[in-house]
Structure 1
Amino acid sequence: MDQSRTKKEALEKLFDPKEFLKAYYSFDSTSSEKNDILMFLLRNFFKTFILDGVKGNTLIRIGGVPSILELLSACESFKEIIVTHNTDRNCQELQKWLKKEPGAFNWIPVVKYACELEGDRKKWAEKEEKLRRTVKQVLECDVTKFDPLTFASLPPADCLLMCYSLVATCKDLSTYRAALKNFSSLLKPGGHLLMVTTMKCSHFVVGQHKFPCLFLEKEVLEEAVKEAGYDILQFEMSPTCHANNLIEHEGISYLLAAKGKGKED
């Protein structure tokens, strides 16, 4: 059986999005390293979308996890956000928060920190409502089997945001490179690619289940991005993390690139 299919089926059957968010996205007093990573990401998104002015009409997020952290600053700079996830369970988890359903993950501590960066921590409720209004669609998408028809009705994106979406599903580097090139067709020439990637990580744990992860090094990631037709503008690394023996990696990379205007999809 195709390894990418095996990994996707394991995510569909065994991956609990709520447990994942609790383990990796909760601000808490037990893991300063984890908190440092969350703040590292929030500060970088704030810099990109608010300070540096990366903006436009449409942002498409190709997501591996049902997180809103990556979208909190983006909703100030884009008129619409379209979110895709690799499993239906992830889509459902995000929809719970969007629709204010019981049992939705509590994002308030993360939202408050994002608002603090923007100058007013007390406006967290307004921030949540603005993000809910800005997210226009939530779609399921298999990143290893890109189907242009799935995205045929979507407008060309000004920004493509990819967060942990390929390392958890791609079986090898060739599949990873192909997926990155395929999704680049959604982005306008001159548009921005923003990637958040776990570096040098072989697996991560959610609940009682261990999920394999594509082991990536900085040089390999940068080469794949350049081969897909991008010029790299920024590359930052977070601290390392040993989150309660759930995961070991060299850090989370934050990469910003621009799609070359003269390069073919």
Structure 2
Amino acid sequence: MEPSSHKLYHVHGFHSRDFLDTYCSGKAEMAFAYDGIRYPMEKFHNAFCSGDFKGDVLIDISIGPIIHHLFSAQKYFRDIILLKPTEHCIIEVKKWVNSRTGAFDWSHASTFATEMAGNSERCEEKEVGLRAAITHVVKFDLNLENLTDPIVLPQADCLAMGCIPEFISKDLDDFVNNFMRFSKLLKPGGHLLYYGGLNGTFYMVGGERFHTVKYNESNLRSILSNEGFVITHLEVSQRKAESDLCDFDSLVFCTAYKQQKHI
């Protein structure tokens, strides 16, 4: 199947709850318990605990209505701003942030976050803390010069990306362009947290096939370098999920900082 016949997340959208149930649920039979939940949570937790990632503003641009990788961020940032491309996704996120009836149950993730923290804080307190830290959920539009027009966002001290450039891009050139646009949201000297799936071409949600750009570790290193980032850590881990719902073969996590411009 050619990429042109795949749906694009930000254009066609998918049912947010279907996505969460498929890739992020707490069900024992959920194939992506490691790849979709534990992997990003562990990597982000370790990064935040290093003390290198902190400040006033963290902007997160991640696939679907996910928030679980940010449980460890709440102690290090005053404001966490989430950017999403579809109204359906924003509504799903806000259900959880505002503790509304029918919101997705993230208790399995908050429990894991509490275990990693190794303290006496309860998982409910973790959820309350993250809800308070998420101050804005904003729609972005790739057709606009200012992605969030008419809202002008402050430049972030930290930018987090989770499986997003590859899911909203048509090809590798488009990936580079979208990454460049997102990176402008980060102030010079600010830090990047990035994770994604390598060498994938599609993923399924609700029986529909969605496109993802195929890229590898070398591609990612080149993109980061060309956009003025200095990589401080990069690791690739073999995928653990046994499922034909998507075809990425490994996970990548990296941290980097945006170089200061010298006049």
Fold shared per TM-score above 0.5: yes
The 2-side partners of 1:168 and 1:45 are apart by: 20
RMSD: 2.2
- Structure 2 match to 1:68: 67
- Structure 2 match to 1:218: 217
Structure 1 runs of 4+ off > 6 angstroms?
none
| CA displacement, residues 177-202 of structure 1 (integer Å, 9 cap, x when unaligned) | 11111222211111011111111111
- Structure 1 match to 2:145: 147
TM norm structure 2: 0.90
Deviation (angstroms), 1:147: 2.7
**Pairwise mapping of residues 1-265 of structure 1 onto structure 2 (< 5 A)?**
7-8=8-9, 11-12=12-13, 15-31=14-30, 34-37=32-35, 38-120=37-119, 123-142=122-141, 144-148=142-146, 150=148, 153-262=152-261
Contact 2:48 2:54 in 1 (8 A): yes
| Residue type of the alignment partner of 1:99 | N
| CA displacement, residues 4-60 of structure 1 (integer Å, 9 cap, x when unaligned) | xx6256532xx11111111111233325x6222222221111111123441110001
Contact 2:34 2:240 in 1 (8 A): no
The 1-side partners of 2:257 and 2:238 are apart by: 25
Contact 1:241 1:247 in 2 (8 A): no
The 2-side partners of 1:226 and 1:162 are apart by: 16
- Structure 2 runs not aligned, ≥5 long: none
How many equivalent residue pairs? 258
Percent of residue pairs bearing the same amino acid type: 28
SS across alignment from 2:238: coil
The 2-side partners of 1:193 and 1:204 are apart by: 25
The 2-side partners of 1:93 and 1:181 are apart by: 27
Structure in which a larger fraction of residues adopt helix = 1
SS across alignment from 1:138: strand
Contact 1:65 1:164 in 2 (8 A): no
Change (3 A) 1:243 1:184: same
| Residue type of the alignment partner of 2:148 | T
The 1-side partners of 2:11 and 2:180 are apart by: 25
| Residue type of the alignment partner of 1:94 | V
| CA displacement, residues 108-138 of structure 1 (integer Å, 9 cap, x when unaligned) | 0111101111113751111111111111111
| CA displacement, residues 215-250 of structure 1 (integer Å, 9 cap, x when unaligned) | 111101111111111001111223314443211211
| Residue type of the alignment partner of 2:181 | N
| CA displacement, residues 78-114 of structure 1 (integer Å, 9 cap, x when unaligned) | 0100101111111111001011112211100111101
Change (3 A) 1:10 1:145: closer
| Residue type of the alignment partner of 1:236 | E
Change (3 A) 1:195 1:219: same
The 2-side partners of 1:168 and 1:34 are apart by: 17
SS across alignment from 2:39: helix
| Residue type of the alignment partner of 2:21 | K
TM norm structure 1: 0.90
Deviation (angstroms), 1:65: 1.4
The 2-side partners of 1:54 and 1:9 are apart by: 28
